[in-house]
Homo-oligomer: A and B are copies of this chain.
Amino acid sequence: MNVGQAAEQAGLPVKTVRYYADIGLVEPQGRSEAGYRIYGASEVSKLTFIRRARAFDFSIGDCRELLGLYQDKSRSSRDVKAMALKRLEQIDGKLEELHKLRDELARVAKECRGDNRPDCPILDSFSGQENA
C-alpha cells in the first residue's frame, strides 16, 4: 500500500509518515518502480504503535527505543516498565505544575472585575505586585 493508505490506517498525517521514514523511524518495505513508498501491515503496526506512544508524550527518541523493545522478542518487560514508570513520574510532575498554574490563574482571574476600568489583578500578579 502507498503512504496515503498507510497513514490513514495508522491514524497519522501523510506528512508525518514520510517524516518518520526520513528520520529512519519507520521505513517503508520498499519502493515501487515509480519511487512510491510501499508499506505493509507490519509497518502500519509500528506507525500505530508510535502514534500511541506519542500520545503518551514519549519523545521520538523514546519511541525509537520502545520500538526496539517492541520488535525485540527477547526483551524483558522490566526495561519497558522502567521507561513507563519514568515517564509516569514526568507526567505527574507536569500535572502538578499545571495544576498550580491553573489554580493561580483562576484565582487572579476571579478577582478581576472584567469591566472597563484599568485596574486588573491579573496584570498586577504578572508584574509581581500581588497583595496576597
Query: A45 at the A/B interface (Cβ < 8 Å)?
Result: yes
Tell me how far the C-beta of A128 lies from the nearest C-beta in chain B, rounded to whole angstroms.
Answer: 6
Query: A20 at the A/B interface (Cβ < 8 Å)?
Result: no
Chain A residues touching B, majority SS: helix
Contact with B along A53-87 (1 / 0, CB 8 A): 10111000000001001101111111011101101
In the bound complex, what is the Cα–Cα distance between A63 and B99 (angstroms)?
21
Tell me how far the C-beta of A56 lies from the nearest C-beta in chain B, rounded to whole angstroms.
Answer: 5
A77-B126 in contact (CB<8A) = no
Query: A105 at the A/B interface (Cβ < 8 Å)?
Result: yes
Taking CB atoms and an 8 Å cut-off, the chain A residues in 76-132 that contact chain B are 76-78, 80-82, 84-85, 87-88, 91-92, 94-95, 98-99, 101-102, 104-106, 108-109, 112-120, 122-123, 125-128
